[in-house]
Structure 1
């Protein structure tokens, strides 16, 4: 298991180790002055998981596997495992915590690092299906697929040299993280010291103890100096920013929080920002303190004026916040927040801000904290919704029944937004904040005036939730169906959303997009358009 004592290793030592890995050769025998190597396959009478456990040098790897709930996978499925030893984990954890000490952060270990970071690290070492070294002898090696996310890896077998004989030594596999690029000089590589261990459920190859790949990105991800978007992509403006969707990077980098832990513990438990559930559904940031702040990477699609609405709850008057964009105050963003009657009694307050197109880091700064925060909503002022961008579906065109929308009854069943109109709008009751369209009826539709910035193909993502499999919808532009019928899967609940992906070709200019419900049975939140390139 990992030695959890706090040790200080100089960063230079870590870099030197990464540059000076020593290959360990095994399985060779002396014969008449040179090594004649035979790659004999070792067999183990048990599962891959049992083999790793029996060797007593993969305990850290197994601890991570158990935490990720992959134990049964390695006991029952057919996989090729490139096994990192305890030494790799020990070195990585020690150097990670050296940096965290310098940065004034608490130490972390396998059982406490964020789940998604551990998942990204470990899953690269487990390959779908079984591949022996002999199938990796092609000149360009063999492309491999990691157990999750169809992540591309690569294996290449070769014989090493021995006593002057080219390729007369033991066989090794160079196992590479391709990082999704075709240029091999950008790959991160590791070398094996033992290969083709046969188990009843697959194959095991043992990696050198000082190998870097996997851990080379893990350490800076756990000790960042620059924050990055929570969901990989910047948050579009106009659009919704759920306050719990602040950047990755940790305390003093992506946020400043004075508490020692997440006091709410309902979301992102490894971060110190205090997140809990809101009484009206969804999440909120609470236990706020004056001087704290949160960062969000955003993509402002157009320069201009925006109506900015903050949803919050407060037990007293005089709460104050302001926004900064790339370190500069956003004009008009300073808000004085009247009391709402309690931290779980929410209201909206709206102001007008001027924003500049482009990618920015948006900071929400607590000037005087006596509030809980739900979400920020940005709506373009007196202008069509831009594409690329996110179309928040509750913001359909004005004009009423038969013009901006068609609904099968006159009641707003959710009654949370645009309450005098027939479209049924409720709060989105999970992460991300904002609203969603519910109580959908067959034949209903909503119109949106949009401005397509450039002609081209756009990857399109529609956030839906459903408890059944009958829901269907399509998108129209100027009366033309651009998607065909899209089927809504059972996501496990109307507020458990899943993204349906498609692509559409759009021409530059102003258009009317219609969201048309072909068959009821689902809720829908938004449509996001991202350029294909």
Structure 2
């Protein structure tokens, strides 16, 4: 006969054995169930009522039609994601004594940059992201690099026995994964009539880790994703983010021109020759720019300005110290919208710097600064402004099918056709290109390796084709120019090249006409 204690022990063993068997038998190989929605990506997001903030941001940056018609993969942040980002931003703004901002009032350009990171070109299901290193992805605008990697989670005590998850990452343009910002999905592979939708976790803060510093910076930081390369052109309307008394000092209460960055106080309007200018200047104002000087040496610094009177004066500072030779006195140009150049020589030191343009006596409007290295090849990494082709003339520095400079805005005595770049960024661009034309550039590659390469082009059609050569060898293959909506509405064509250390001759070759081109930028892959 079993006593009560033995009977109780036997019952406990039976329960434990049953529970263990039940747990083990409950394991199954999880498979994601493909979900389909009978409508467009826009219809799906609208129908769910938890992406209203995302749709508002999408509408503000003019991407609503893309959600309705384009073939894209969307990583959708929920309303909770926006709520967290905006509340954190406005808590900081309250502490700083600043007015609150919301999706309708944050700077358009910064919102555009961040929203685009949730739109991936083309349609990708999770199974194509199962490679060991995941899959590189490209955003809808600006060719910004993102990354997706699919894996299964652990469940029921079994490794990789649970639901599949995509880790979606902002790569920051670097190969080191520990510098990426990551978000994970809670639903994936939702198929719509025009793409895929993957839903991001609610704890993901919109903008990855960039929303607050972009919308409410307390330090001066680059307007674009990268510092301005020197040598190169600095469009003076593209001063740093950070606001008044941080990235600039402006005494007016608002942007009196209102044609660019309207939420700031720097006064920006259109220039009569095309492009933008900083106007309504006052003595004592200043603007900051983060720059990357690629090589120590002497530079010709050219300032383009317009003035109604003599004695306008500016100078530059680097990291708080005046740049010797940068102080210039500007003769009258015949009016604020009648522009001329003034050039001086400055000595700059390689490295990243905070450059300040200081208005010592303000009676001028400002367009852009251009830096050209003296007596040395153009350095790579860096930006190659394509109007600065090699000297030597036809057949040596360039080949052009006629002897006339159609644009006549720069190097007027030579055959390459150069006009002002007539939108933001300042500087020049090469136009009226004909099939078979080319331009040479003597360059100095600092280190052997792979370089991300970005070419700024504008076109009204889709016929344009070009390639880059180094010492006569094609390094890019033929690159096709998309229709950007106009010769002065530029887009970036991105590719990568492998270059060897040393001095080389780079050739920009026009395989088929139909486009204008501004610059080629080389950034190290790492």
TM-score (norm 2): 0.77
2:15 alignment partner in structure 1: none
Q: Does 1:288 align with 2:288?
A: no
Cα deviation digits, residues 437-466 of structure 1 (max 9, x gap) = 222234433333333323333333332323
1:335 alignment partner in structure 2: 328
Q: Does 1:454 align with 2:439?
A: no
Q: Helix, strand or coil for the counterpart of 1:232?
A: coil
1:107 alignment partner in structure 2: 100
**1:380 Cα deviation after fit:** 1.2
**1:228 Cα deviation after fit:** 2.7
Change (3 A) 1:158 1:123: farther
Asked whether the 8 Å contact 1:321–1:368 carries over to 2, the reply is yes
1:151 alignment partner in structure 2: 146
Change (3 A) 1:77 1:292: same
**1:287 Cα deviation after fit:** 1.8
Change (3 A) 1:85 1:482: closer
User: Matches of 2:191 and 2:459 in 1, distance apart?
Assistant: 44
Q: Does 1:178 align with 2:169?
A: yes
**1:334 Cα deviation after fit:** 0.9
Change (3 A) 1:172 1:124: farther
Which sits farther off after the overlay, 439-448 or 120-129? 120-129
**1:312 Cα deviation after fit:** 0.3
**1:328 Cα deviation after fit:** 1.1
Q: How many residues end up aligned between the 2 structures?
A: 490
User: Matches of 1:77 and 1:470 in 2, distance apart?
Assistant: 22
Asked whether the 8 Å contact 1:298–1:362 carries over to 2, the reply is yes
Q: Helix, strand or coil for the counterpart of 1:448?
A: strand
Which sits farther off after the overlay, 315-324 or 342-351? 315-324
1:15 alignment partner in structure 2: none
Unaligned runs of 5+ in 2: 1-22
Which sits farther off after the overlay, 379-388 or 478-487? 478-487
**1:348 Cα deviation after fit:** 0.5
TM-score (norm 1): 0.76
**1:77 Cα deviation after fit:** 7.6
Cα deviation digits, residues 314-351 of structure 1 (max 9, x gap) = 11222111111111111111111122111100010111
Change (3 A) 1:86 1:521: closer
Asked whether the 8 Å contact 2:188–2:197 carries over to 1, the reply is yes
Which sits farther off after the overlay, 423-432 or 355-364? 423-432
Asked whether the 8 Å contact 1:97–1:107 carries over to 2, the reply is yes
Which of 368, 383, 388 is 1:390 aligned to?
Answer: 383
Q: Map 1:11-50 to 2 at 5 A.
A: none
Q: Does 1:351 align with 2:351?
A: no
Cα deviation digits, residues 31-64 of structure 1 (max 9, x gap) = xxx9x9xx9x999997775676567665434422
User: Matches of 1:463 and 1:372 in 2, distance apart?
Assistant: 26
Q: Map 1:255-334 to 2 at 5 A.
A: 255-334=248-327
User: Matches of 1:79 and 1:483 in 2, distance apart?
Assistant: 26
Change (3 A) 1:209 1:527: closer
Change (3 A) 1:509 1:339: same
Q: Does 1:380 align with 2:373?
A: yes
Asked whether the 8 Å contact 1:177–1:214 carries over to 2, the reply is no
Q: Helix, strand or coil for the counterpart of 2:210?
A: helix
1:430 alignment partner in structure 2: 423
**1:353 Cα deviation after fit:** 0.5
1:507 alignment partner in structure 2: 500
Asked whether the 8 Å contact 1:303–1:356 carries over to 2, the reply is yes
User: Matches of 1:294 and 1:179 in 2, distance apart?
Assistant: 29
Asked whether the 8 Å contact 2:309–2:334 carries over to 1, the reply is yes
Asked whether the 8 Å contact 1:469–1:490 carries over to 2, the reply is yes
Which of 225, 230, 235 is 2:228 aligned to?
Answer: 235
**1:360 Cα deviation after fit:** 1.3
Change (3 A) 1:424 1:84: closer
